[in-house]
Amino acid sequence: MTATLFLDAVNPWIDWTWLSDHTSLLLDRLQEHAVLTVIAVAVGTVISLPLGVAAQRWNALRNPVLTISGILYTIPSLALFAFLVPYTGVYSVTTAEIPLVSYTVLIIVRNVVVGLDAVPPDVKDAADGMGYRPLARLLRVEIPLALPAIFAGLRIASVTTIGLVTITFVIGLGGLGQLIYTYGMLENNFRTAILAGIALTVALAFAADGILLVAQRLALPWSRTA
Amino acid sequence: MDFLRTVVDWFAAPSRWQGPDGIPTRLIEHVEISAESVAVAAVIALPVGIALGHVGRFGDLAINISNVGRALPSFGILVLAFLLLGFGDTPIVLALALLAIPPMVTNSYVGLRSVDPDVKDAARGMGYRGLAQLFRVEIPLAVPLIMAGVRTSAVQVVATATLAAYIAGGGFGRYIVDGFATFDYTKLFAGAVLVAALALATELSLSGLERLLVPRGIRSLRAPGTRRGASFKTA
């Protein structure tokens, strides 16, 4: 009991003084975390939209695309980082982003395919009847109708990526994982830094989810799906 | 190519196949800790998800628990469990089980909810009541999604168990963590091969188990793409 009290005194769960003295450290790690996430989701989206459209159009592509991305998704991130390090090195954004982008691609591609699958055939017929050419029909009828599903994919991809970026500390990159590892575990398990790393990761995930939800409501006022 | 040669040699060394740091020992550690974690999570999560799905209430809770689970940083949860409980398997199993609960709750809830109401009516008409209806009609029909949740969780537990090496756990993660610590890229790469293979083997064997558990009568009804639950990845 006395030992626990002593430990709480030298290693408090929340050391407000340390936190207020290190706000720039916390904000820097938060910013690195956000940047790694934004790159992964942005690149993943740019790859996934055409890939998803193609996979949904052509049956020959559908199974290979979903199977290959499914296999990549199953492989643990730590293993993918470790596979790449001998080739792309540590402290490398490339080493971090190849796995992260792969994971976001699977999530978003699946939602693009599901969203496009769900466009009612009647609507497509009506669009054809109104004289839409295939590309115009895709861009102006099918994709807008699939956007709620695509947005749902973006939200899952963002929240997932924010969780996974905490692991990029293994290749020496910044981000909130550094608070948990370098400033926490390596500093005699300094609890405040570890707790701050966890709390900021969760907060960032909820913030990203909320921002995308608001963006969805603004971009698609007709969709009211949560 | 020279590098991959060293990886092959690493696997070929006889010392790799015996002793406390040998591949068989690490495999058993990894599988044991993962199986325990999935079992603990299943005992808690499946009854909750099935009950919520059966009564059809608290749907927001059952769905949102996955969103919360996604937001939790798995590495942070492992370290927190270590801070609270110290060294040993208990903190690792509890942390991994915590991360495995959300997909199982959500998927079993969705599985139970998506049982056709007409089928439930028919079951009632045939004299099934309460628990008999649940166990002999609803759960068998929900097996594909229930098992999708178990599979998703199990693959994530195997993946996240790798990180347990950072809090002095065993398993294949040891090779990766020690490889990083000593800049031994051969060991690092070999560890990644083993972990990736174990994750894929978990996915495949649970898909096989799922196929065995799905009642014969509904195998042909299953539309492709419906058996996968929502994406969930923690490590």
User: What's the total number of domains in chain A?
Assistant: 1
* pLDDT at residue B228, rounded to an integer: 62
The percent of residues above 70 in pLDDT, for chain A, comes to 96
Q: CATH no. for residue A157?
A: 1.10.3720.10
Decide if B158 touches A, using CB distance below 8 A. Answer: yes
Q: What is the pTM of this model?
A: 0.92
Tokens representing residue A158 in the block: 């963002």
* pLDDT at residue B171, rounded to an integer: 95
pLDDT in tens, B113-171: 999 999 999 999 999 988 999 999 999 999 999 999 999 999 999 999 999 999 999 99
For the segment A177-200, the average pLDDT, to the nearest whole number, is 96
The verdict on a CB contact (< 8 Å) between A82 and B179 is yes
Q: Which residues of chain A lie closer than 8 angstroms to B188, CB-CB?
A: 82, 85-86
Q: Which domain holds residue A207?
A: 22-217
For the segment A69-77, the average pLDDT, to the nearest whole number, is 92
Complex prediction ipTM: 0.91
The verdict on a CB contact (< 8 Å) between B230 and A156 is yes
Going along chain B from its start, the domains and CATH numbers come out as 2-219 (1.10.3720.10)
The verdict on a CB contact (< 8 Å) between A82 and B191 is yes
| 3-state SS, one letter per residue, for chain B | CHHHHHHHHHHHCHHHHCCCCCHHHHHHHHHHHHHHHHHHHHHHHHHHHHHHHHHCCCHHHHHHHHHHHHHCCHHHHHHHHHHHHCCCHHHHHHHHHHHHHHHHHHHHHHHHHCCCHHHHHHHHHCCCCHHHHHHHHHHHHHHHHHHHHHHHHHHHHHHHHHHHHHHCCCCCHHHHHHHHHCCCHHHHHHHHHHHHHHHHHHHHHHHHHHHHHCCHHHHCCCCCCCCCCCCCCCC
In angstroms, the CA B127 to CA A108 distance is: 45
- pLDDT surpassing 80 at residue A142: yes
Q: What is the DSSP letter of B180?
A: H
The verdict on a CB contact (< 8 Å) between A83 and B225 is no
* pLDDT at residue A226, rounded to an integer: 45
Residue A3 covered by a domain: no
Residue A14 covered by a domain: no
Residue A10 covered by a domain: no
For the segment A128-153, the average pLDDT, to the nearest whole number, is 94
Residue A57 covered by a domain: yes
- pLDDT surpassing 70 at residue A1: no
Residue A51 covered by a domain: yes
- pLDDT surpassing 60 at residue A114: yes
Task: List the single best residue of B6, B79, B156, B177 to mutate versus A (max A Cβ within 10 A).
Answer: B79
Residue A8 covered by a domain: no
* pLDDT at residue B230, rounded to an integer: 75
The verdict on a CB contact (< 8 Å) between A86 and B188 is yes
* pLDDT at residue B220, rounded to an integer: 65
* pLDDT at residue B224, rounded to an integer: 43
Single-letter residue type at B41: A
Decide if B155 touches A, using CB distance below 8 A. Answer: yes
Average pLDDT, chain A: 93
Contact B101, B135 (CB under 8 A): no
Q: How confident is the model at residue A225 (pLDDT cuts 50, 70, 90)?
A: low
* pLDDT at residue A222, rounded to an integer: 75
| Segments of chain B scoring below 50 in pLDDT | 223-226
* pLDDT at residue A10, rounded to an integer: 81
Mind telling me how many Å the CA of B127 is from chain A's nearest CA? 37
- Helix, strand, coil proportions of chain B in percent (round to 5)? 80, 0, 20
Q: How confident is the model at residue A25 (pLDDT cuts 50, 70, 90)?
A: very high
Q: How confident is the model at residue A3 (pLDDT cuts 50, 70, 90)?
A: low
In angstroms, the CA A222 to CA B69 distance is: 29
* pLDDT at residue B149, rounded to an integer: 94
